[in-house]
Amino acid sequence: MVREVKKGKYILQYEEDWMIELNRETKHHPELLELLAQFPYEEVGQRIACIAAYCSIMLDGYYTQEHLKHICEKCLERLRDKRSIIISPTESKLLH
């Protein structure tokens, strides 16, 4: 949801499902939480930019809410990938 605060200034709120999911996922990334601590909770745009940078997603320009949704979904996907453990079989030779 976007809410007008002052003429021409908008604040995004954490009311959309995709924003809530992204916020939940950040709790699994201590390094990211340290970076996010620099920004007030209300500064959603700055927080999204910080998360995107952490996920190696380059941002440049102005974004509609639909664009932000797509960016947040991509960040969520990358954050989940960062915390998943990949186990692959390896060849081992047992010595007798």
Residues 3 and 11: beta-carbon distance below 8 Å: yes
* Region for 56 from its dihedrals, namely left if φ exceeds 0, alpha if ψ lies in -120 to 50, beta otherwise: left
Q: Has residue 72 been placed in a domain? A: yes
Q: Has residue 91 been placed in a domain? A: no
Domain with 32, as residue range(s), is: 2-83
Q: What is the pLDDT of residue 85?
A: 65
Q: Has residue 49 been placed in a domain? A: yes
Instruction: Identify which has the larger pLDDT, 71 or 23.
Output: 71
Instruction: Identify which has the larger pLDDT, 65 or 7.
Output: 65
State if pTM tops 0.75: no
Q: Has residue 89 been placed in a domain? A: no
Which amino acid would we find at residue 44? V
Q: What is the pLDDT of residue 41?
A: 79
Q: Has residue 93 been placed in a domain? A: no
Q: Has residue 39 been placed in a domain? A: yes
For the stretch 13-54, pLDDT in tens is 556 788 889 988 999 999 999 999 999 877 888 999 999 999
Q: Which residues contact 78 (CB under 8 A, 6 or more apart)?
A: 55, 56, 57
Q: What is the number of domains present in the chain?
A: 1
